Amino acid sequence: MGRLSSCFALVLLAASALLPEASAATSAAATGTGKGQPPPSESKQPDVSTLCDCSTFTSRHLHDISAAERSPKWFVASESPVCATSHTDAVIDGITFASPCLALCQQQHIRHRGSCEDIDNGAFKLSEDFTFVSLADIRRSKAKDRQLTPAVVHRFRSDGYVFVGRITGGTVPQDLADEDDEKNEEKDEESQPRKYRDVMIVPGGDTYARLLASTDEEVRQRLMDKGMHDEDQDIREGNASLPTDWTMRPRPARDSDFSRGAINMTTDAPEEKCVVGGESRTIGSKQTDYPWRTSGFLSISTSDGDFRCSGIVAGSPITGMTAAHCFTNRKPGGGNVFVENFRARFCPGQSGSERPFGCVSVRRITVPGEWLSRRNRPREYDWGVMLFAVPIGAQTGYVPIGSACKRRLFTPKITVWMLSYPGFDDRSDRRRVFFEKRDDFNFRCRQKVNHKFDTNGGASGAGMTEFRNGYWWLRAVHNSAPRGRCRSNTAAKMTGRNSNQAREIIAEQSS
């Protein structure tokens, strides 16, 4: 999954010295504190093997009420979440793990019991809407492929990820609307001195966090090392956001109209979610022309039912973009799903029962850590990178991730297309593709945008593309409609941090 930076490689080299069965001493528990209190004096380099069984990730002192408070035995006496880090200094860069032994057996240093707190400085925590599945429940699982084993825990270790547990929906989250969206729309994206990390979720809910949080500068440098430049830096090379050594690159395309088999909608969509100023979408047949064929229908099956979203082949032949909430958030009435036990298929170019390129399964979804960490679900982080089982983009082509935007006193507007698969209660859509073209898309440098494309449930995850300088670019991912008065919808823009983070994830997963 790509080359690691030198500092990243050193951390992984140090981590590789501890195998699941190893009994080498570590100061992991010694640095554990009770919310900032100094480490217990009695514990100097405690042996992890005396505290945990790293073949099953269980505590050897579970429920030991005699352990002194904040001692190593005290930390592992309860299988409750802990905040841990690979650092031994005071830098707040922690990751929330489902249990102490899960962290210790991955050579992490426990900071305190409970979830990590300082998300602005790169910590990964879970909001109250998500909880870890009990590790005891996982160990009792009858399905061998779902049990907690070293193979599961260390699956992505060489790629810089640690296993934090298996997450599931906790309390039902509110679909919070951003009341100040329109007031904040005119503010440019500001550079903020915070770190960020991404979180990978595989079918079954197994969740992995990137070991080290990154600054904007570190991510930009890694992208430069991979030959991936910002769109504005080298637009004359065509698709400058992609590595120069990739064999599959989007071909220049004309700014064509979406017309093959299209029919106009004659009535407003039933049970509209947010149709702005009357229906303006068009229904199309199966799509075999680029770039329309990169958009597709995303079906997600869980133990709680089947759900739908939209998506787009983007960034590489084997990756796609969609909304994070399609996989990680369940709201009243359905439409979104638990991460646990999900199975997903993506069918590019589909309309109705016609699937010109067949379907491909989704192997995993990677989302920004902030999406799982913040209670209010900020929509600028409501996006995710899908890794497909096979490079479907070899047949369809793919849309590169854009990065261009304008910082001006007035609001610049550009022409953008959106293809989506909205679902209606009367099932009149029959999984047909809908399209809309608007020339009032906000091109300011913000990570979130209000837009006036019409949407219904199922349109979440739709790619919003623009034709510029001979190429089609992904500008945003639609993700939400506000509650109450329907004046606009929202999308996560591919600018700044979003663009850099998405392209880095894609570069690693495509290598």
pLDDT band at 3 (very low <50, low <70, confident <90, very high): very low
Quote the pLDDT of residue 331: 56
**In the chain, which residues fall in CATH 2.40.10.10?**
243-510
Q: How many CB atoms lie within 10 A of CB 142?
A: 6
The predicted-structure confidence for 78-91, as pLDDT tens digits, reads as follows 999 999 998 766 67
The predicted-structure confidence for 390-415, as pLDDT tens digits, reads as follows 999 999 989 989 888 888 767 789 99
Q: 221-247 burial, b if ≥16 CB within 10 A, otherwise e?
A: ebbeebebbbbeeebeebbbbbbeebe
The predicted-structure confidence for 477-500, as pLDDT tens digits, reads as follows 998 876 656 778 899 999 989 999
Quote the pLDDT of residue 282: 85
How much of the chain exceeds pLDDT 70, in percent?
Answer: 72
Quote the pLDDT of residue 338: 67
Residues 35 and 111: their CA atoms lie apart, in Å, by 7
Residues 470 and 165: their CA atoms lie apart, in Å, by 45
Residues 232 and 499: their CA atoms lie apart, in Å, by 12
Structural contact between residues 459 and 419, judged by C-beta atoms closer than 8 angstroms: no
Q: Return the biggest CA–CA distance within the chain.
A: 76
Structural contact between residues 321 and 252, judged by C-beta atoms closer than 8 angstroms: no
- The DSSP code for 133 is P
- The DSSP code for 145 is G
50-59, 158-167, 168-177, 235-244: which has the minimum mean pLDDT? 235-244
232 CB contacts (<8 Å, ≥6 apart)?
Answer: 403, 404
Residues 219 and 137: their CA atoms lie apart, in Å, by 37
**Cis peptide bond upstream of 173, omega within 30:** no
60 CB contacts (<8 Å, ≥6 apart)?
Answer: 50, 51, 52, 53, 76
pLDDT band at 178 (very low <50, low <70, confident <90, very high): very low
pLDDT at 183 over 80: no
The predicted-structure confidence for 457-472, as pLDDT tens digits, reads as follows 889 999 999 988 778 8
pLDDT at 122 over 60: yes
147-156, 213-222, 228-237, 293-302: which has the minimum mean pLDDT? 228-237
pLDDT band at 232 (very low <50, low <70, confident <90, very high): low
pLDDT at 270 over 60: no
pLDDT at 42 over 80: no
When the candidates are 3.40.30.10, 3.30.930.10, 1.10.10.10, 2.40.10.10, the CATH number that belongs to 243-510 is 2.40.10.10
Quote the pLDDT of residue 182: 45
Order of strands, edge to edge, in the sheet holding 82-85?
A: 95-97, 82-85, 109-113
Nearest of 327, 377, 449 to residue 129 by alpha carbon: 377
Structural contact between residues 25 and 57, judged by C-beta atoms closer than 8 angstroms: no
Q: DSSP readout, 309-321?
A: EEEEEBSSTTEEE
Quote the pLDDT of residue 92: 74
Quote the pLDDT of residue 193: 67
Averaged pLDDT score across all residues of the chain:
78
The predicted-structure confidence for 436-448, as pLDDT tens digits, reads as follows 999 999 998 889 9
Residues 107 and 154: their CA atoms lie apart, in Å, by 12
Residues 178 and 17: their CA atoms lie apart, in Å, by 47
The predicted-structure confidence for 304-323, as pLDDT tens digits, reads as follows 678 889 999 999 899 999 99
- The DSSP code for 51 is H
Residues 452 and 481: their CA atoms lie apart, in Å, by 10
pLDDT band at 378 (very low <50, low <70, confident <90, very high): confident
Helix axes 496-510, 216-225, angle to 10 degrees: 40
Quote the pLDDT of residue 404: 87
> How many residues are given for the chain?
511
